[in-house]
Every structure is written in C-alpha cells, then in structure tokens.
Amino acid sequence: MSRKSLSHASHLPTKSAPSPSPPAASSSKHTLDMPPLDLPDSITWDYEPAPRAPATLSKDDKEAFMAELMGFEPYHVLSDIAEHARQAIYPTVSSVEGWARSIAANRAAHDAEVDRGSHAFETLLENVIDRAFDKYTAYALRNAFGVPDGVQLVLPWQKGRDFARAEFVAEMLGGEDVLAARLEALRSKVEQARLVRHRLEMAEAVLDRRLQVAEHRRKEVGFVRDAVVDAGLAPLDEKAGDVVDALSTLHSNLEDVKMQPRAPGVPPGVAWETGRQAYLSWAVGKALASGREEVSADRLDAIERQTAEIGTEADLEQLSAAARRK
C-alpha cells in the first residue's frame, strides 16, 4: 500500500452553507461583545465525501508510516541505545582486571587466572546486556512504536486531503469561478467584522473619555450634595421631581374636562342628550349669555342717569321744536 493511500483514511468534516448571522456586535462600558464569525470550514460546503472502506495496513506499511511520522527508523534508535549500554561493559571489565592484577603481583600463574576471569566476566556482561536489550527492543517496537490493527492512520500534513474534492470542483457548474466568488464573499465578511470591531473600540475609547470628564465634574460639585445630606435636608432634585409629577398629573386631569364650544346645529333643549361634553359646553354657553345680558342692563341705567343730568323730557322737546323752526 502506498503512502498516498494513507491520506485517504480521514477527511475534514463538511459544513452546510452559512446561514444569516445575528448582529455583528454589541458594546457597553464594561464589555465588547464580538461573537465569532459564522464561517464554513471549507468553500466547498456542498461537497459530501463518499464513504470509504477502512484501509488495511501491512507490517511494512506500518513501519514506513512510523518512519515518516517520527523522522527516523525506530529499530535503529533502539539499536543505538543497546550499543551505548554495551559500551559501558568494557570500562567496568578493565577496572576489575586492573584490580585483580594488582593483587596477583605479577605472578605468572595468577596472571593467567586473571586473563581467564576477565574474559569470562566480559562475556557474562555481554550476554546479560544482549538479552535485556533484545527484550527492550521487542517491547518498544510492539508498544511504543507499534500500530494496532484497525486504526486508521493519517499523517498530520496529510490530514484532510481528498482528491475526490478536486474532481467535484471540476465537474460543478462554474467550477473555480464559483469558489473564487465564495472566497471573496468570505473575505469581505471578515473585513467587515474587523471594521466593526475597530469602530467599537474607538467608541469605547470615546466613552471612557466622557466618563472621565463626568467623574471629574461630579467630584468638583459633589461637596454640595454631601453638605445637603449631612445637614439632613431633602435633596433639591427629589423636591423638583415631586413638583413635576404633580403638574403633570394636574395637566392630565384638566385635559378630561376641557370645554368645547357647542355646535350651532344642536338645539338647547336636547344638548344634554348628545353626551357629557356637549352638555357641559351648552351649560357654559348659557352662563356666558346671562352675563352679557346683565352687562347690557347696567349700561342702559347709566345712559338714563346721564340724560337726567342734562334735562327733563319737556326741555328736550322744546329744544327739538326750536331746532325745527330754524
């Protein structure tokens, strides 16, 4: 099995076409809420990979896979470790041999015995090291560097490769032009999100400056409120608020009894039958008419008094006759 076939063992999850996203962002003094962009994993979101049968790897394929993944041959590394352990035998044997020769005191019989003993000791250590590291190598190759059967292997740099996707793009209507348009739309969406974030950050900075100015002004005039509170007086803003509420309530109540002139076509006798508002208008009009009649009577009495001061009725008649003769 080739290494190219190993890349077919896994695919990136596909995602449907992006749906309309919520508002780009919101801002407050304490938070800058930038929801993540709803971007698809791929610009070919309408592609669905065909199911593939699990790949069966041979021993050689697994070894080749591990060598490519690790960047070295595992067996060679284990052999180097065993060889380094073997090299530690010979300095140990040389030290023991030197000590034995110093005890033998250059006697020929003893020197021959030292040679045989050193050789046997060296052979013993080599056999022990070989058996121990053979087990170590077998264990490491089977467990640390082994690949269990049934595991689908994918190299990190081959993850998501699917050559059938290229065939799908080549066969779709529009081909690469459609993908280019999708890519441009996604790029515009990302740029718009960056612009919104930049504007929100600028708005946050302006708001911070305004809050600093407001806090500075509050500290400058805050002693007035503190003095009022310390004196046990009611704050002025609460009193003013009560007055405003009372005036608003009074204005609302007066709107209900506002008088409207009575329609000229409604007879006085049946004005009360047209409703409460019409009856009130009729009553007000009648009261105003009575007031005008009283004012006219007062004016007539004043004219008579002025006439009496001028002269009697006979005097007026004589004056009129004299005027006619002339």
Give the pLDDT means over successive 10-residue stretches in the chain (326 positions).
39 44 49 68 76 77 83 88 90 88 77 86 91 92 82 76 75 80 87 88 90 88 76 64 77 64 53 60 64 53 58 58 55
Delimit the domains of the chain by residue range. 3-182, 268-325
> Residue 257 burial (CB < 10 Å; 0-12/13-18/19+)?
exposed
Q: What is the DSSP letter of 142?
A: I
CB 111 within 8 A of CB 101: yes
- Please state whether the predicted TM-score (pTM) of the whole model is above 0.75: no
Give the per-residue pLDDT at 8.
39
CB 225 within 8 A of CB 53: no
Task: Give residues with Cβ within 8 angstroms of 167, minimum separation 6.
Answer: none
Tell me how far apart the alpha carbons of residues 14 and 145 are, in angstroms, rounded to a whole number: 32
Helix (H, G, I), strand (E, B) or coil at 114: helix
Residue whose token pair is 């930049």: 198
- Taking every pair of Cα atoms in the chain, the longest distance, rounded to a whole number of angstroms, is 202
| Dihedral Cα 97, 99, 103, 106, nearest 10 deg | 50
Give the per-residue pLDDT at 13.
40
Tell me how far apart the alpha carbons of residues 211 and 299 are, in angstroms, rounded to a whole number: 71
Give the per-residue pLDDT at 132.
93
Give the per-residue pLDDT at 134.
92
Give the per-residue pLDDT at 209.
92
Give the per-residue pLDDT at 309.
57
pLDDT tens track for 218-242? 888 877 777 777 777 665 566 667 7
